[in-house]
Amino acid sequence: MELCAGLVEGGITPSAGLIRTTRQAIDIDLHVMIRPRGGDFCYTPPEIEAMLEDIAVAADAGAEGVVFGMLQPDGKVDTTLTEKLIAASRPMSVTFHRAFDMADDPFEALETLIELGVDRILTSGQEAGVMEGLELLAELIERAGERIVVMPGCGITPRNLDRVLRETGAREVHVVGTETVESPMQYRNPRCFMGTALFTPEYSQAVTTTERIRAFFPKTDG
């Protein structure tokens, strides 16, 4: 399970309280997003220090893995910072997230991450969704072999899962199982918003449900 906050921003680091309560509530591996803000993946020194602190919090809370990604301004993997965060993360598993999809050369980035010792790459094949990125995903997975896990994600549904697995040869996939749940608020002030220009919904939220996840595995009872 990957745990993150701020899905509107593509996922940012959850609070220490959320990490700890989630770790207590589930009995499967927990991988924590380490991303201090939305936007690009070129981080300042203070942001890197915050990421290092967040890795320590995740480890202390009992997480089995962390998820992060850093790029240089030219679109190359930031090897120095990635290596630094990997060292701080061990023995937890390390996933390089979809910052990979913003890299200038996916095959160079793949080899760099293998050399650095990353365990897993989350990618849509450098496209808006996996269905558009199938060709690149298949080539990345073939080139990676057993050296690293390349995990397709973004836009995988119960309807297209079999095709993604068949056409890419993926061993792992990243899925989202959320549905919209209405707020219990009865009084609602229509004049005030807590978000900014693209007003996020105040009275509903995306919640991961057992039913949504189970839809990906219709042949199992667990």
**Is the Cβ–Cβ distance between 137 and 125 less than 8 Å?**
yes
**Same domain flag for 59 and 117:** yes
Whether the per-residue pLDDT at 147 is higher than 80: the answer is: yes
Of 138, 159, 176, the domain-final residue: 176
In whole angstroms, what is the distance from residue 158 CA to residue 219 CA?
12
**Same structural domain, 182 and 169:** no
Task: Give SS3 for 149.
Answer: strand
Contact 124, 130 (CB under 8 A): yes
Bridging pattern class, strands 204-208 and 178-182? antiparallel
Indicate whether 189 and 151 sit together in one domain. Answer: no
- Partners of 95 in the β-ladder: 67, 120
Provide the whole-model pTM. 0.87
Task: Specify the CATH number for the domain of residue 87.
Answer: 3.20.20.380
Are 14 and 94 within one domain?
yes
User: pLDDT by residue (tens digit) across 64-87?
Assistant: 999 999 999 999 999 999 999 999
User: Do 7 and 19 belong to one domain?
Assistant: yes
The model's pLDDT over 6-49, given as tens digits with 9 standing for 90+, comes to 988 899 999 999 999 999 999 999 999 999 999 999 999 999 99
Range of the domain at 220: 177-222
Residues 32 and 91 reside in one and the same domain? yes
Are residues 89 and 157 located together in one domain of the fold?
yes
Domain count, the chain: 2
